[in-house]
């Protein structure tokens, strides 16, 4: 890892602003970046630059250059102004982005009032993405690569900057840093990773070690829960997350990688005001379904080797149709390197029978032992490589997926600790009480953050992850999260999807941003509101009920029912839809 520090990113910088230029100077370094605010040209000076900085209108210290984004008014310089230390991996500090700022190149005065309002909406979109928990970075460690990938690369790789050598699947500000390509200023470019990082100093069986979880969210087919499902035409899937578990002990380093991702078929589940719209396969040529699933699996095999697909969806109803289609697609892949395991999570674990998850883990044990894990010993010798990966999914790749991934990670961790002689061969983590509490809470935190990024709420079923059993409080919390998901997925996620697409460069700012939804959008909710108010009034105001009052009650009750039925019939016209792109 020492080589990684050769091209570390500048960590503390100063921005000098004049009416026509930005001057960006690292506090530890001789380079100077100059951005012309009108022409948007970028110039870099390597040395003897102090005399080039004039008396500035303003001066701002910041901790990372995130990039440049084009909005309606002008380009905006995006900088990290606050950070929080998460911990150290391989001796390198890992930070969480705490606050970012957007600094305009020019004034918005030339815009019409409507465009100024739209520009403000776009600004709020970008700030929303930057404040979604969580974005992470390091100045001298490549968070986008697993330990195994970092070990297997050529020496020339280490001569590149962090941005150049990063796995672009997981660089969330790659679009914002695009303007700096072609310039020799890569030490200014700070790659951001979206996901979850937890780094913990632990004592297990009397031995001190560092235990970390790093979850990396892909930029490919990124988005919100009901607006991004299944495959795209490049074989990328929605909600693709790579999760790495790392153990560092006296110079030894172990790593175990798992992945999750939406069912790799063309399907949709568009919001339409129903609590759970049925997932539906798109009407495409079956050959296209199978060929794109094959491409997805081939891409995964290129990165990870053997693939064990663990499908946790229901095997009845609409999810059952998806399970059959996925199974058939994997059969058509016809590769010895791809294995399919299905487990009807809800049916098997119904009535709080969560102990039945051990059936699945036992079925996967042989595959897990065969794929092994990455282990690099303190003397630099390679003890083992991970050959293969579990690809786990449910419909959302959130709640059920989180539970199973945490159990596979727990089994792997016991294997690693035995290999490092921290645990004896007959020992388990079950009696390492303080560490067990930490393990369960960190994996539950990982579940909550990954879920928040995709669905807008924390994960369901995390009471099992935290405590090892389902609780009534957990069921109540799941109910609250489900209601919040319903609201956000139907009435807020269109704007959130636009923000993600804008940030990643999948959509360009347009004006007008507002879309006229037609007369139904206002008329039917207004009628419903009046009908509900009248029904309540008819129900509570009479001191005693007469035939007339009962008829009024029946009439307004019928109006409530009829209006609700009509709204649900045209439900897709009432939901918040993305404006910048189509899924």
Question: 83: Cβ–Cβ under 8 A, 6 or more apart, which residues?
Answer: 63, 64, 95, 96, 97, 98, 137
* Rounded Cα–Cα distance for residues 504 and 499 (Å): 9
Torsion of CA 282, 285, 290, 293, to 10 degrees: -40
pLDDT, tens digit only, all 583 positions of the chain: 444 445 789 999 999 999 999 999 999 888 999 999 999 999 999 877 878 888 877 999 999 999 999 999 999 999 999 999 999 999 999 999 999 999 999 999 899 999 999 999 999 999 999 999 999 999 999 999 999 999 988 888 888 889 999 999 999 999 999 989 877 788 999 999 999 999 999 999 999 999 999 999 999 999 999 999 999 999 999 999 999 999 999 999 999 999 999 999 999 999 999 999 999 999 999 999 999 999 999 999 999 999 999 999 999 999 999 999 999 999 999 999 999 999 999 999 998 888 999 999 999 999 999 999 999 999 999 999 999 999 999 999 999 999 999 999 999 999 999 999 999 999 999 999 999 999 999 999 999 999 999 999 999 988 888 888 888 888 899 999 999 999 999 999 999 999 999 999 999 999 988 877 888 888 999 999 999 999 999 998 887 888 888 999 999 999 999 999 999 999 999 999 999 987 6
Q: Which of 278, 96, 286 is nearest to 199 (CA)?
A: 96
Task: Please state, in angstroms and as integers, the Cα–Cα distance from residue 525 to each residue in 487, 564, 566, following that order.
Answer: 15, 9, 10
What is the bridge-based pairing of β-strands 338-342 and 307-311?
parallel
Distance of CA 173 to the CA centre of its chain: 14
Give exposure, 47-62, as e/b (b: 16+ Cβ within 10 Å): eebeeebeebeeeeeb
Task: Please state, in angstroms and as integers, the Cα–Cα distance from residue 224 to each residue in 135, 183, 323, 371, 494, following that order.
Answer: 17, 34, 22, 32, 8
pTM attached to this predicted model: 0.95
Q: Which of 69, 51, 65, 60 is nearest to 11 (CA)?
A: 65
């Amino acid at each position: 890892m020492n080589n990684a520090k050769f091209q570390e990113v500048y960590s503390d910088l100063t921005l000098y602003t004049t009416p026509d230029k930005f001057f960006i100077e690292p506090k530890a370094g001789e380079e100077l970046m100059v951005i012309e605010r009108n022409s948007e040209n970028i110039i870099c000076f390597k040395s003897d630059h102090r005399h080039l900085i004039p008396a500035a209108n303003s001066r701002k210290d910041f901790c990372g250059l995130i990039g440049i984004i084009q909005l309606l008014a002008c380009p905006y310089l995006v900088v990290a102004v606050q950070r929080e230390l998460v911990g150290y991996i391989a001796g390198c500090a890992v930070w969480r982005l705490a606050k970012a700022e957007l600094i305009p190149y020019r004034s918005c005065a030339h815009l019409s009032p409507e465009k100024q309002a739209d520009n403000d909406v776009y600004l709020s979109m970008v700030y929303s993405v930057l404040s979604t928990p969580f974005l992470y970075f390091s100045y001298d460690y490549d968070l986008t690569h697993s330990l195994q990938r970092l070990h297997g690369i050529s020496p020339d790789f280490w001569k590149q900057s962090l941005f150049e050598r990063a796995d672009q699947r997981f660089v969330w500000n790659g679009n914002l840093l695009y303007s700096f390509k072609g310039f020799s200023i890569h030490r200014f470019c700070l790659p951001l990773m979206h996901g979850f990082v937890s780094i913990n100093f632990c004592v297990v069986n009397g031995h001190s070690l560092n235990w970390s979880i790093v979850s990396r969210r892909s930029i490919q087919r990124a988005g919100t829960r009901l607006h991004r499902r299944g495959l795209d035409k490049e074989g990328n899937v929605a909600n693709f997350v790579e999760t790495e578990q790392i153990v560092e002990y006296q110079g030894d380093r172990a790593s175990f990688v798992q992945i999750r991702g939406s069912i790799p078929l063309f399907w949709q589940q568009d919001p339409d005001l129903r609590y759970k719209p049925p997932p539906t396969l798109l009407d495409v040529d079956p050959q296209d379904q199978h060929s794109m699933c094959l491409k997805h699996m081939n891409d995964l095999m290129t990165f990870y080797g053997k693939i064990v697909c663990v499908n946790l969806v229901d095997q009845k109803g609409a999810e059952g149709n998806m399970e059959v289609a996925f199974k058939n697609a994997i059969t058509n892949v016809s590769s010895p390197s791809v294995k399919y395991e299905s487990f009807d999570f809800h049916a098997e674990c119904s009535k709080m029978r969560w102990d039945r998850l051990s059936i699945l883990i036992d079925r996967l044990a042989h595959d897990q032992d065969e794929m092994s894990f990455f282990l690099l010993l303190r003397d630099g010798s390679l003890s083992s490589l991970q050959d293969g990966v579990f690809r786990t999914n449910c419909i959302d790749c959130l709640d059920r997926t989180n539970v199973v991934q945490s159990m596979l990670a727990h089994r792997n961790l016991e294997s690693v600790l035995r290999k490092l002689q921290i645990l004896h061969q007959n020992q388990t983590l079950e009696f390492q009480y303080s560490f067990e509490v930490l393990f369960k809470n960190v994996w539950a935190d990982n579940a909550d953050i990954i879920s928040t990024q995709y669905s807008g709420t924390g994960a369901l079923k995390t009471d099992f992850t935290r405590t090892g059993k389902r609780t009534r409080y957990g069921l109540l919390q799941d109910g609250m999260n489900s209601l919040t998901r319903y609201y956000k997925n139907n009435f807020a996620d269109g704007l959130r999807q636009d923000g993600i697409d804008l940030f990643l460069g999948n959509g360009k700012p347009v004006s007008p941003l507002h879309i006229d939804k037609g007369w139904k959008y206002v008329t039917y909710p207004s009628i419903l509101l009046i009908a509900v108010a009248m029904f309540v009034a008819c129900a509570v105001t009479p001191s005693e009920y007469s035939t007339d009052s009962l008829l009024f009650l029946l009439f307004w009750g019928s109006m409530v029912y009829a209006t609700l039925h009509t709204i649900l019939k045209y439900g897709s016209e009432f939901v918040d839809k993305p404006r910048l792109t189509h899924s």
